[in-house]
Amino acid sequence: MSWHPLETITTSSPPPPSSPSSVNRTASIAGSSSESQVCSSAPSMYASQILLQYLPIPKSLKHPSNASQNSFLTTFKPSSKTTLKLRAILSENSLLSEDGSLFKHCFTKSEDGYLCCEGLRVEDVMNNVEKSPFYLYSKPQITRNFQAYRDALEGLDSIIGYAIKANNNLKILEHLRKLGCGAVLVSGNELRLALHAGFDPTRCIFNGNGKLLKELVLAAQEGVFVNVDSEFDLDNIISAARIAGKKVNLLLRINPDVDPQVHPYVATGNKNSKFGIRNEKLQWFLDAVKAHPNELKLVGAHCHLGSTITKVDIFWDAAVLMVNYIDQIRAQGFKIDYLNIGGGLGIDYYHTGAVLPSPRDLIDTVRELVLSRDLNLIIEPGRSLIANTCCLVNHVTGVKTNGTKKFIVIDGSMAELIRPSLYDAYQHIELVSPSSPGAGISTFDVVGPVCESADFLGKDRELPTPASGAGLVVHDAGAYCMSMASTYNLKMRPPEYWVEEDGSVAKIRHAETFEDHIRYFEVLVELPNYGNSNSDGKPLKLL
């Protein structure tokens, strides 16, 4: 699909080491939004949110067994688990920024009940775009979220590595790069995209438990940091270094076995995770790095605990373990300059005004540890940089009742936004305009048209009964929504727009079309005859 120029639409209208858990900040990102042009300031504020030949590896590089080597074994007792009560209605709590002023978020409610993005009515945006559903972002909110991390890191040598997996929109990536972001990559194509977007490769980190040799060659050629995740991963990294003719800067991804107390699908730092290397095997990896001085340079250690983390003491627990490992690694003659504590800071998806840790809370929790070891800190935010900057905007198709269950059917679905279906995740839902005077409040499941009972955006939500055609949004849709979208039921991926600093609306991604789908089947080439034949003795063809 060809890329056209952006289209612009005008609308009319710290806790100390002894007490790591003492956090008392919101997860909202402080900063002032654009002044409202259409909507007045809201009384209700949302809390935030790349074919190469393979070179053989020497057989002398033998993999370790699972036998334990206790020199790196550290125990950890996880904190107690808490339960967050589900809330379907909008919190009316007004959040305060650190200076005591009312916190301004990109999505607000006007005094007359209209949902606005940076002062523009979402309903007006709906009336000026060609397709629904669509994703609507606030570019200023992305900037404010980044600034919160940048400000929190003052006084530290650091890299803010945006996790591209959270949202891979090219225009968003270019904006974050201009702000000073590095990039965190988990596939070869994400690496290629980061390079295309202009990211400094020396501020990029290539993670993943299944990195391919050709991907690693590109990483080595460009000078990207590479995380070692397993024995075979190290084999491939050594081969890649030889092919590229360059030494690779390595980080060891250590699995600290810290429980992040989140959904198991997004927990990555426990001992049974598919990610990272167990601490019992660290000595083998250190010996292997020493054996390959022409290919490898160990420069740091990395851990990643999971996602949607709402307690910074979990980061403290991991950081204590990690600096202990770094001390032991340095004692063996390695020059370790970097500590990568990953990402995973959670946001207030429930919009209850919950007191959640901010970027400053996170950084202040590990600051003294980092400074005490003279380390450069790498952090990998994704969700907390982009999630709360966006809504999925939908039209209501209709309302129906089956038995005792009431449904609001919308044109959006699990194809565009799969988090609720995949994780049973909660995302706040509301209508974009005031309901009619006679509309009653009822409890609804908000569902899409996909032929799956799992196709829901929200369950048991108290909402005014909407009219057909009404606008409805799913909040906090900037992370792990569009990047996980599919074409199931041939629902084509939607367009994306953002509100810019001057209040204009620009398209930042075209909608996919049926014609795009058909083009994948044009000019198909027959496979060569490899000796296989069908019953007629004719070569097999690619149909």
For residue 243, the 8-state DSSP code is H
In whole angstroms, how far apart are CA 390 and each of 133, 342, 480?
13, 23, 11
Residue type, 103: F
Which pLDDT value is given to residue 512?
Answer: 97
Q: Is 303 a catalytic residue?
A: no
Angstrom distance (rounded) from CA 340 to CA 351? 30
Which of 431, 543, 494, 466 lies closest to 90 in space, CA to CA?
A: 431
Sign, Cα dihedral of 195, 200, 206, 207 = negative
Between 270 and 35, residue with greater pLDDT: 270
Neighbours of 432 (CB within 10 A): 25
- Own/partner contacts of 2-6, CB < 8 Å, gap of 24 or more, are 3/510, 4/510, 6/171, 6/506, 6/507, 6/508
Q: Out of 204, 303, 451, 481, pick the active-site residue.
A: 451
Looking at residues 307-327, what average pLDDT do you find?
84
Note the pLDDT tens digit of each residue in 68-102: 333 333 322 223 332 222 222 222 333 344 433 33
What average pLDDT score do residues 224-247 get?
Answer: 97
DSSP states along 98-114: TTSSBP--SEEE-TTS-
- Find tokens 């989140």 and name the residue: 262
Q: What percent of the chain has pLDDT over 70?
A: 74
Is 384 in a helix, a strand, or coil? helix
Compute, in degrees rounded to 10, the torsion defined by CA atoms 197, 201, 203, 205. Answer: 100
Exposed / middle / buried, residue 452 (Cβ in 10 Å: 0-12, 13-18, 19+) = middle
Between 236 and 344, residue with greater pLDDT: 236
| Residue 275's pLDDT band (cuts 50, 70, 90) | low
pLDDT-derived band at 531 (thresholds 50, 70, 90) equals low
Indicate whether 299 pLDDT > 80. Answer: yes
Multiple choice CATH, 139-385, 2.60.120.620, 3.40.50.150, 1.50.40.10, 3.20.20.10: 3.20.20.10
C-alpha distances out from residue 538 to 299, 533, 535, Å: 57, 5, 8
Q: Which candidate, 543, 429, 411, places its Cα nearest to that of 476?
A: 429
Give the residue extent of every domain in the chain: 139-385, 390-520
pLDDT at 251: 97
Residues 6+ apart with CB under 8 A from 299: 225, 249, 250, 251, 335, 336, 337, 338
pLDDT at residue 541, as a whole number: 55
What's the half-sphere exposure (Cβ side, CA atoms, 13 Å) at 142? Answer: 28
User: Which pLDDT band, with edges at 50, 70 and 90, does 271 fall under?
Assistant: low
Q: What is the pLDDT of residues 126-161, one digit of tens each?
A: 999 988 999 999 999 999 999 999 999 999 999 999
- Is residue 80 within 8 A of residue 150, CB to CB? The reply is no
The predicted structure's pLDDT at residue 383: 94
- Each residue of 165-198: pLDDT tens digit? 999 999 999 999 999 999 999 999 999 999 999 9
Mean predicted confidence (pLDDT) in 317-341 = 93
User: What local confidence, expressed as pLDDT, does residue 258 receive?
Assistant: 59
Is the pLDDT at 336 greater than 70, yes or no? yes
Quick one: tokens of 503?
């209040």
Least confident of 43-47, 94-98, 133-137, 351-355: 43-47
Q: Is the per-residue pLDDT at 23 higher than 50?
A: no
Task: Look at residue 312 in the predicted model and tell me its pLDDT.
Answer: 80
**Overall pTM surpassing 0.85 (yes/no):** no
Residue bearing tokens 């809504």:
391
- Which pLDDT score is estimated for 354? 81
Q: How confident is the model at residue 444 (pLDDT cuts 50, 70, 90)?
A: very high
Mean pLDDT, range 220-225, rounded to an integer: 98
- The band of 305, judged by pLDDT with boundaries at 50, 70 and 90, is confident
| 205, 185 contact by CB (below 8 A) | yes
Please tell me the distance from the alpha carbon of residue 308 to that of residue 266, in angstroms, as a whole number: 8
- Mean pLDDT on 225-246: 97
Q: How confident is the model at residue 533, as a pLDDT?
A: 53
How confident is residue 529, by pLDDT bands cut at 50, 70 and 90? low
156 within 8 A of 367, measured Cβ to Cβ:
yes
For domain 390-520, give the fold.
Lyase, Ornithine Decarboxylase; Chain A, domain 1 (2.40.37)
Q: How confident is the model at residue 527 (pLDDT cuts 50, 70, 90)?
A: confident
Res 353: pLDDT: 84
* Residues present in the chain in total: 543
- Of the candidates 42, 91, 147, 84, the one whose C-alpha atom is nearest the C-alpha of residue 358 is 147
